[in-house]
Structure 1
Amino acid sequence: MPAFRTIVVTVDDLDAAKRVYSVALGVEPHTDTPYYVGYNVDDCEFGLSPKPGDGRDGSVPYVDHADIDKAVADLVAAGASVVMSPTDVGAGTKIAVLADADGNRFGVRSWTAP
């Protein structure tokens, strides 16, 4: 069953946010790049990303699906709109970002072992 397992928070200052969330979560990040800082917290991924610069900010929850392309097509058929098409972000991970009818953003993620 699909479940939300990833939350990405957009921030103005990635280094400042990393200092705060490393203490808050009690762990160091497993990924630390200029475009993404990721933490493993139990069975969930918590990430930090720079704000995209187009006025969108806030948190984006991601739901895992085995077939991201089918999931996106099904969601569009149900009324969602695509904000970012499925994109390979490395390490066997693809993400897409969609919006519901009210403009609330959420993501879809697929992962395959390298």
Structure 2
Amino acid sequence: MQLTKLTVLLPFIVSALAIAVPEADPGTRVTGSKEAAILEAKRSDLDKRQNCVPNGCKCRPVPQGQYCGWCYAVTNPGNGGSWSDVFECNPSGGCCRYGPRNSCSSWQSFSPCGP
């Protein structure tokens, strides 16, 4: 008799325990561990990709990576683009624009130029 009560109540107990344990908030930043560093790098990479705007820019077929407008890879900065902007170029010549970057502002010394 007691075992029957347990089997009837068990789903309710499990449900109550599952509700009582909160999941980690995806917006919280965990610091101090290797996993946290990897997570932060992925988040910042995702943020960068979300801000890369297709504007008609053109690149030579180069390895996927970020290139300043002054780099050999970028052939056209596109609509609203500037040579001092940073662009994401890909092997098929595709491109999107991140926008201006201080390290790209000088045609004498600019960086980054590739992956």
Which of the five TM-score ranges fits, normalised by the shorter chain?
under 0.3
Query: Which one has a larger percent helix, Structure 1 or Structure 2?
Result: 2
Query: Which one has a larger percent strand, Structure 1 or Structure 2?
Result: 1
Q: TM-score, normalized by length of structure 2? A: 0.24
Q: TM-score, normalized by length of structure 1? A: 0.25
Q: Which has the higher contact order (CA 8 A, sep 6+)?
A: 1
